[in-house]
């Protein structure tokens, strides 16, 4: 039986490939693929963004090799960055809860 972390890793891979396969290139996300993924899978994050060009900026930041597509390795850096930010929020929340 897979562990909780193994299930999370599999989920990350499956989500990436579900959106990557939409434009025929199964190993990369186009800008449209990335936008669809973020709108469906990271909608709460996008709601918090006040910049209407947030996806464009994220695409530019993620596309390290400037090929106009985001591969899995580039995509994972987004997930890691968001996870770090969420973990920091979690620590703040927990420190406030402990003080109650």
Predicted TM-score (pTM) of the model is 0.78
Q: What is the CATH number of the domain that holds 10?
A: 1.10.238.10
Please, which residues bridge with residue 28 across strands?
Answer: 71
Structure letter (DSSP) for residue 26 = T
Q: Does the structure show a pLDDT above 90 at 65?
A: no
Strands (E), 1-100: 28-29, 70-71
Give the model's pLDDT for residue 11: 95
- How many domains does the structure of the chain reveal? 1
Tokens 């591969």 found at? 71
Please, which residues bridge with residue 71 across strands?
Answer: 28
Give the model's pLDDT for residue 53: 77
Domain extent at residue 94: 4-99
């Amino acid at each position: 039986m897979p562990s909780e972390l193994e299930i999370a890793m599999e989920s990350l891979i499956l989500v990436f490939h579900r959106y990557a396969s939409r434009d025929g290139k199964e190993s990369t996300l186009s800008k449209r693929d990335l936008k669809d993924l973020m709108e469906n899978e990271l909608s709460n994050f996008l709601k918090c963004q006040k910049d209407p060009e947030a996806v464009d900026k994220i695409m530019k930041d993620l596309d390290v090799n400037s090929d106009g597509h985001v591969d899995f390795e580039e995509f994972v850096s987004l997930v890691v960055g968001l996870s770090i930010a969420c973990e920091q929020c979690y620590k703040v929340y927990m420190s406030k809860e402990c003080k109650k």
